[in-house]
Amino acid sequence: MRKLIAHRGWSGKAPENTLSAVKLALEEPKIDCIEIDVHLTKDGVPVVIHDYQVDRTTNGSGFVKDMTAEEIKALDAGSWFDFEFAGEQVPLLEEVLVLAGGKKKLLIELKQMAGMYEGLEEKVIGLIQQYGLEAHCDLISFDHKSLQTCMKYSTKVNRTLVMLGSPVLLIDQVNEIGATAVSMNHLYVDQEMVTSLNNNGIDIVVWTVDQKSEAERVLGLDGAISLTTNHPERLWA
């Protein structure tokens, strides 16, 4: 069944990957799932932010891995979007899990890269298990090894492999890590790929679909494809 996924929370209406963006998505019945991104701080705390550096979405500067959770929490993550959100913080993953509380499924992207964040997978899954949310969270990543590592800590949390372009041996790559879905840019999805994934029982998620015409093209290939979007309101209008 097709699902509508709010990209980094409802990022068209609030600063991306903040509690405000997540809360807006939780309150809208037409949004099915919420996608967020997770990095690990210098002191080993999973935090919700997209970039490896804090520069673009906060008033700070530097790499997430070089800052403590306390230092990151002191940053303003809202003013860049709109003064209305001045003082918005970069949330801890734990805060998002508590806020969501199983009301909607969370797609948690592990921003792992060549083992940069030692222990990221264990800590993220530990928090998911602590709050009893294994059935309400999917783990997604570009990093094959990260998703394989996740299997050591939980076989209950579904995994989605994120791909760039039109990869070769796509089915083999997905099966190798035991993923249940593949996520890719909507521009690269065609009928041949959709048929192959469907025939192998692999779900399809596409990003980032912000225009009705884009959604219509993708859903014309397969009405069950899930759409990740910054602007959910444009797709149900």
pLDDT at 237 over 90: no
50 is catalytic: yes
Give me the residue label for tokens 């990543």. 141
Question: Which structural domains are found in the chain, ordered by start?
Answer: 4-236 (3.20.20.190)
**Active-site residue, selected from the candidate residues 39, 50, 136, 186:** 50
DSSP label of 75: S
- What is the per-residue pLDDT across 107-143, written as a single tens digit (0 to 9) for each? 999 999 999 999 999 999 999 999 999 999 999 999 9
- How does residue 1 score in pLDDT terms, banded at 50, 70 and 90? low
Q: What is the pTM of this model?
A: 0.97
pLDDT in tens, 164-215: 888 888 999 999 999 999 999 999 999 999 999 999 999 999 999 999 999 9
Read off the pLDDT band of 49 (50, 70, 90): very high
Q: Is 197 helix (H, G, I), strand (E, B) or coil?
A: helix
Active site residue 231: no
> Of 7, 39, 186, 231, which one is the catalytic site residue?
7
What's 154's DSSP letter?
Answer: -
Q: Is 65 helix (H, G, I), strand (E, B) or coil?
A: helix
Residues 85 and 15 sit within 8 Å (Cβ to Cβ):
yes
Indicate the pLDDT class of residue 46, thresholds 50, 70 and 90: very high
Contact call for residues 177 and 147 (beta carbons, < 8 A): yes
User: 144-168 pLDDT, tens per residue?
Assistant: 999 999 999 999 999 999 998 888 8
197 residue type, one letter:
L
